[in-house]
Amino acid sequence: MSKNIAELRKKIKALHSRKVADTMQWFFKTGKGEYGEGDIFAGLKVPVQRKIAKEFRNLSLDEIKQLLGSRIHEERLISLFILVDQYSNGSEKEKEKIYNFYVQNRKGINNWDLVDLSAPKIVGKHLLGKDKSILFKFAQSKNLWERRIGILSTYEFIRNNNFKPTLEIAEILLNDEHDLIHKAVGWMLREVGKKDLQTEEKFLRKYYKTMPRTMLRYAIEKFPESKRKKYLKGKI
């Protein structure tokens, strides 16, 4: 017997924790004027959500769309876990459909965990060996989460030793005003360095004096202490 949304929501309600919800409301900055303003948490930890997603992995895209449009954060994240699973196990035709669905319904992908746990595994994987212009469009968007999708999707390219899109998008985002973008770009530069330190340092030497401090700190996090200090003091 196939599972449905009503059953999924019933399960969330049964497993929710007010204490966890309160912590998440604070952690994901849901207060007025903060990046997650208005987001509502039921109070389920990520491993629990993954377990629910596995149980409801065969929901239709129409049902997933309903969840992705929910005000409840966990419903959106569970829907993305399901989508990632379906993409991973889908045929080429199904993958194309899921990728297009993701892009068309990105409005519901509106917090950093939602982006980070889905964009590389759907958008990044799908655009390997394909036209990547949509990521540059996202990187120049006024929408914070689209910009984060733009840079985080390149994680999959890095894993496949293609660093150029990451570096080009990082260059676009060098003057971004949001801390969540500074952290994301720094993180991706650090991942480039894990694969090819020379390539990361070539980029850093060009921009480390002018890039946001948080971006630099994330990018050089794994460097030896002596080298980190030189970058932070501007003496490379």
pLDDT 10s digits, 53-91: 999 999 999 999 999 999 999 999 999 999 999 999 999
In angstroms and rounded to an integer, the radius of gyration of the C-alpha atoms of the chain is 19
Three-class secondary structure of residue 195 per DSSP: helix
Residues 6+ apart with CB under 8 A from 90: 97, 98
Residue 16: CB atoms within 10 Å: 16
Q: Is 223 left (phi over 0), alpha (psi -120 to 50) or beta?
A: beta
Q: Compute the distance between CA of residue 15 and CA of residue 50 in angstroms, rounded to an integer.
A: 13
Q: What pLDDT, on a 0 to 100 scale, did the predictor assign at position 138?
A: 98
Average pLDDT over residues 35-42: 94
- Contact 182/214 with Cβ under 8 angstroms? yes
Residues in the chain: 236
Residues 6+ apart with CB under 8 A from 131: none
Q: Compute the distance between CA of residue 81 and CA of residue 230 in angstroms, rounded to an integer.
A: 41
- Cα angle, residue 202 at apex, residues 163 and 193 outer, rounded to 5°: 50
Q: What pLDDT, on a 0 to 100 scale, did the predictor assign at position 3?
A: 75
Kindly tell me the number of DSSP H helices and DSSP E strands found in the chain: 17, 0
Q: What is the pLDDT of residues 95-153, one digit of tens each?
A: 999 999 999 999 999 999 999 999 999 999 999 999 999 999 999 999 999 999 999 99
Q: What share of the chain is helix, strand, coil (3-state, %, to 5)?
A: 65, 0, 30
- How sure is the predictor about 2, in pLDDT bands with cuts at 50, 70 and 90? low
Residue with the two structure tokens 């004027």: 33
Q: What pLDDT, on a 0 to 100 scale, did the predictor assign at position 86?
A: 98
Element (H, E) at 189: helix 179-195
- Contact 226/219 with Cβ under 8 angstroms? no
